[in-house]
Amino acid sequence: GEDVEQSLFLSVREGDSSVINCTYTDSSSTYLYWYKQEPGAGLQLLTYIFSNMDMKQDQRLTVLLNKKDKHLSLRIADTQTGDSAIYFCAESRSYQLIWGAGTKLIIKP
Amino acid sequence: NAGVMQNPRHLVRRRGQEARLRCSPMKGHSHVYWYRQLPEEGLKFMVYLQKENIIDESGMPKERFSAEFPKEGPSILRIQQVVRGDSAAYFCASSPGGERQPEYFGPGTRLTVT
């Protein structure tokens, strides 16, 4: 199976909160990242968290890290249509980033 | 401050031809990473380079693929004798250095092999 796992799809109503979940395998990962990819576009670094932190907040984004369960989540408050994209979780492992397959966020009006 | 630049953005090659993908890192960044993204999948690491050195090429196919990052100029990912399975988006990322730096990505080169 994948080293980093994410659900493939998440559907939320505009204005609600979105919570995208990710599990990873390497407990020695120092950084964990969330990237956003819009259709046909490159990857935009949204936020990252150092492994000794439990939570990081940046405007509408909240990252929660449960190191014991190797579980990472990204919460987007007040989800807007512009948040429609694929969200990738990635863990750092030596020189590499190990990526999940991405969660496609679908916004319902 | 320009971000990571990649060109071309789209590249079409016939089977058997060579593909050359270029990446200019962000100003001040001396570390370059190449990743490949197949349709509907996440990214897979290919190679990590510093100026004039290949640090980790464990994700590179053993044949037909090569990468360089010369002292002057952009990093080049070269694919010789392309096959249909090489069709993918190839992303370059750069960082100032060290494994603890977040990586900033270019817009990608979408390679189509016909």
Cβ atoms of B66 and B78 closer than 8 Å: yes
Share of chain A above pLDDT 70, in %: 98
What's the pLDDT tens digit per position in A50-82?
988 999 999 999 999 999 999 999 999 999 999
pLDDT of residue A1: 41
Chain B positions in Cβ-Cβ contact with residue A2 (cut-off 8 Å): 42
What CA–CA distance (Å, rounded) separates A93 from A30?
8
Mean pLDDT check: name the lowest of A8-12, A77-81, B99-103: B99-103
A40, pLDDT greater than 80: no
Residues in CB range of B61: below 8 A, 6 or more apart = none
Q: Which residue has the tokens 């890290």?
A: A65
The whole-angstrom separation of Cα B33 and Cα B102 is: 12
Dig out the tokens for B4 from the structure: 């990571």
Q: What is the mean pLDDT of residues A14-36?
A: 91
Mean pLDDT to the nearest integer, B76-90: 97
The rounded distance, in Å, linking the Cα atoms of A23 and A7 is 10
Q: Is the pLDDT of residue A6 over 70?
A: yes
Binary contact (B41, A101; C-beta < 8 A): yes
What is the Cα B51 distance to its own chain's centre? 14
And the tokens for A20? Answer: 């995208």
Contact B26, B4 (CB under 8 A): yes
What integer pLDDT is reported at residue B97 of this predicted model? 77
As a whole number of angstroms, the distance between CA A37 and CA A2 comes to 20
DSSP reduced 3-state for A62: strand
C-beta atoms of A96 and B55 within 8 A: no
| Nearest-CA distance B49 → chain A (Å) | 10
The chain-wide mean pLDDT, for chain A, equals: 91
A43 to B91: CB separation less than 8 angstroms, yes or no: yes
**Can you tell me the mean pLDDT for B93-105?**
78
Which residues does residue A74 pair with via DSSP β-bridges, in sequence order?
A20, A63
- Provide, as residue numbers in chain B, all residues whose Cβ is less than 8 Å from the Cβ of A7: none
Dump the DSSP string for B15-44.
TT--EEEEEEPPTT--EEEEEEE-TTS-EE
- CA A43, CA B106: separation in Å to the nearest integer? 7
- Mean pLDDT in residue range A18-47: 89
CB within 8 Å: B43 and A94: no
Pairwise CB contact (< 8 Å): B48 & A95: yes
Instruction: Identify from B24, B94, B103 which residue to disrupt to test chain A contact, counting A C-beta atoms within 10 A and taking the largest count.
Output: B103
Tell whether B25 lies on the interface with A, counting CB pairs under 8 A.
no
Collect all residues of chain A within an 8 Å Cβ-Cβ radius of residue B105.
Answer: 35, 42-45
| B38-81 tens-digit pLDDT | 887 888 999 999 998 999 999 999 999 999 999 999 999 999 99
Mean pLDDT of all residues in B21-45: 91
